[in-house]
C-alpha cells in the first residue's frame, strides 16, 4: 500500500495525540501561563528570571529539534512519545519541591530535552499520517484545538485545586499557603502526564502501521541537505518563528489582568484559562476551513488578526473600567495566534514536503522557528520588569504586532510560491 494514499485511522489515535501533545507541555509552560503571578511569587522569580528559565529550555530544545527530527524518521512515535511523557512527569515531581533559581534553570533545560528531542517531531509526523492526503487541516486543527481543550482542562483543574486553599476574593496570600496550594497543582498535573504516557505506549498504534509509518533504515546528513534546499522550508521557518512569538505573548495575559485590569490572583488565573478555551474553538474551525481551501490563505488571515489585536492592547485604551473590551481584544488575538499555530504544520502538504522526510523537515524548520523559546522570554520579561505595569505591556504588544507583520509577508510569499506550483 502506498503511504501517500488516504488511510482511515482509528479516532482514538488523534485523541491520544491531542492528550499527549498538550500534557507534555503542561509543566514547563501551561502552569506558568495560567498562574503567572502565583508562579513568580512561589518560586521567588521576576519576569526576567522566568524568561531565562524559558531560554534555558530553548537552548536545549534548539539542538533537540534538529536531531530529534531525524530520530522521528527512524523510530515509531509511540515509544518516543511515551518515554518523553514519563521523563517530563518526573521533572514535575522535582518541581513540586520548589527548587531554587539555579535548579529551576537546570529543570527547564531537562524539559527541553524530554519534550523536544524525544517527542515533538514524532507527534507532528504521527498527526500528518493520521490526516492522510486530504485532511491535513482537520488533523492539525483537531491536534491544536484539542490540545487547547486539554490545556484549558488542566488549567481549570489547577484553578479548582488552587482555590480549595486560597480565598478567591483575597488580594494577598501568605507564602506558605500559596506554596502548599500550588504544590498540589504541580503534583496532580505530573501524575496525569505520566498516566497519559502509559496510554500512548500501549494504544498509539496505526492500522497497517508497517506500511503507513515510513521509517528510514539509516540517518543521513544528505536528508537535512535535501530539506534545506527547498525554498518553502525557509519561509516556514520565518512563519513559525513569528507565529510562535505570538503564542509566547499569550503568557502575559494573566499578568495583564492582574497589573492593568486589577483582577485578583484567582481571577487573573481564570483569565489565562479563558484564553485556553479559545484555542480548541479556533483550532477546529480553522482546521475544517483549511481543508476546503488553501491552508496558507487562513494563515494570512491569522497574522492579520494578530496585528489588529496587538494594536488594540498596545494603544493604551484598556483599563480596569474596560473589562468587556479587554476580553474582546483577547478573542481577536486568540483567533489570530491560534489560527497561525494550527496551520503552520498543516501547510507541509501544500509545500510538497515528502512524508519520508517529515520528521527531518519538522526538525529543520523548528530549529529556527522555535528560537523564541530562547529570546522571547527574556525579551518580554525585560520590558515587563523595566517598565512596570501598563507601559511594559504596551511594548510587548508592539513587538507582537511587528513579528505578526513579518509573518504576514512570509505567508503571502509562501502562498504565491505554492500557488504557482499548483497552477
pTM of the predicted protein model: 0.74
What's the pLDDT score for residue 133?
62
- What pLDDT was estimated at residue 191? 96
* Residue given cell 518563528 in the structure block: 241
- What is the model's pLDDT at position 173? 62
pLDDT tens, residue order, the chain (423 aa): 444 455 577 888 999 999 999 999 999 988 887 888 889 988 999 888 988 898 899 889 888 887 887 787 778 888 899 999 999 999 999 999 999 999 999 999 999 999 999 998 889 888 888 877 666 777 888 888 788 788 878 888 888 888 887 765 555 566 778 788 889 999 999 999 999 999 999 998 876 655 555 555 555 667 677 778 788 889 999 999 999 999 888 878 878 888 877 777 777 777 777 776 787 888 888 878 877 777 788 899 999 999 999 998 888 777 777 778 888 888 898 899 988 888 878 787 777 777 677 777 888 888 888 888 788 888 888 888 888 888 888 899 999 999 999 999 999 999 888 877 555
Report residue 111 as a C-alpha cell: 524539559
Residue 262: how many other CB atoms lie within 10 Å: 12
CA atoms 85, 90, 93, 98: torsion sign: negative
Q: Is-contact 394 317, C-beta < 8 A?
A: no
Dist. CA 418–CA 423, nearest whole Å? 9
The span from the CA of 336 to the CA of 256, in Å, is: 19
The Cα–Cα gap between 261 and 237 comes to 35
Contacts of 139 (CB under 8 A, 6+ apart): 14, 127, 128, 130, 131, 132, 287, 346
Instruction: Determine the Cα–Cα distance for residues 254 and 277; give it in Å rounded to an integer.
Output: 14
At 219 the three-state DSSP class reads coil
Q: H/E element holding 313?
A: helix 295-314
Reference 71, options 33, 4, 117; nearest CA is: 117
Q: Give residue 4's pLDDT.
A: 46
> What are the structural domains, with CATH classification, of the chain?
11-212+219-422 (1.20.1250.20)
d(CA 39, CA 27): 11
The pLDDT value recorded for residue 354 is: 73
Amino acid at each position: 500500500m502506498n503511504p501517500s494514499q488516504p488511510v482511515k485511522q482509528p479516532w482514538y489515535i488523534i485523541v491520544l495525540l491531542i492528550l499527549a501533545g498538550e500534557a507534555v507541555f503542561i509543566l514547563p509552560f501551561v502552569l506558568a501561563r495560567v498562574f503567572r503571578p502565583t508562579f513568580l511569587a512561589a518560586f521567588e522569580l521576576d519576569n526576567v528570571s522566568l524568561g531565562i528559565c524559558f531560554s534555558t529550555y530553548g537552548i536545549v530544545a534548539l539542538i533537540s529539534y534538529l536531531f530529534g527530527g531525524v530520530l522521528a524518521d527512524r523510530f515509531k512515535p509511540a515509544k518516543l512519545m511515551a518515554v518523553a511523557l514519563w521523563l517530563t512527569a518526573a521533572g514535575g515531581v522535582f518541581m513540586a519541591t520548589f527548587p531554587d533559581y539555579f535548579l529551576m534553570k537546570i529543570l527547564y533545560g531537562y524539559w527541553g530535552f524530554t519534550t523536544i528531542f524525544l517527542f515533538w517531531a514524532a507527534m507532528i509526523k504521527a498527526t500528518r499520517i493520521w490526516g492522510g492526503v486530504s485532511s491535513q487541516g482537520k488533523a492539525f486543527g483537531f491536534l491544536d484545538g484539542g490540545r487547547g481543550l486539554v490545556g484549558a482542562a488542566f488549567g481549570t483543574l489547577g484553578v479548582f485545586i488552587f482555590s480549595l486553599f486560597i480565598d478567591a476574593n483575597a488580594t494577598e496570600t501568605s507564602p506558605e499557603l500559596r506554596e502548599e496550594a500550588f504544590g498540589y497543582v504541580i503534583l496532580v498535573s505530573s501524575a496525569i502526564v505520566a498516566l497519559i504516557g502509559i496510554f500512548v505506549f500501549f494504544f498509539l498504534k496505526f492500522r497497517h502501521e508497517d506500511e503507513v509509518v515510513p521509517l528510514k533504515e539509516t540517518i543521513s546528513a544528505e536528508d537535512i541537505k535535501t530539506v534545506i534546499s527547498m525554498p518553502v522550508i525557509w519561509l516556514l521557518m520565518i512563519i513559525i518563528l513569528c507565529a510562535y512569538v505570538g503564542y509566547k505573548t499569550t503568557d502575559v495575559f494573566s499578568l495583564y489582568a492582574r497589573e492593568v485590569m486589577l483582577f485578583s490572583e484567582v481571577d487573573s488565573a481564570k483569565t489565562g484559562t479563558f484564553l485556553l478555551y479559545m484555542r480548541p474553538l479556533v483550532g477546529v474551525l480553522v482546521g475544517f476551513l483549511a481543508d476546503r481551501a488553501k491552508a496558507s490563505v487562513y494563515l494570512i488571515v491569522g497574522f492579520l488578526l494578530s496585528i489588529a489585536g496587538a494594536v488594540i492592547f498596545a494603544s493604551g485604551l484598556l483599563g480596569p473600567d474596560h473589562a468587556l473590551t479587554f476580553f474582546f481584544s483577547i478573542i481577536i488575538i486568540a483567533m489570530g495566534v491560534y489560527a497561525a499555530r494550527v496551520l503552520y504544520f498543516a501547510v507541509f502538504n501544500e509545500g510538497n514536503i515528502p512524508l519520508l522526510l517529515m520528521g527531518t523537515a519538522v526538525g529543520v524548520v523548528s530549529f529556527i522557528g522555535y528560537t523564541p523559546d530562547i529570546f522571547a522570554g527574556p525579551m518580554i520579561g525585560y520590558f515587563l520588569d523595566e517598565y512596570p505595569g501598563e507601559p511594559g505591556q504596551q511594548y510587548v504588544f508592539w513587538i507582537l504586532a511587528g513579528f505578526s507583520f513579518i509573518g504576514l509577508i512570509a505567508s503571502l510569499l509562501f502562498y504565491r510560491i505554492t500557488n504557482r506550483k499548483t497552477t
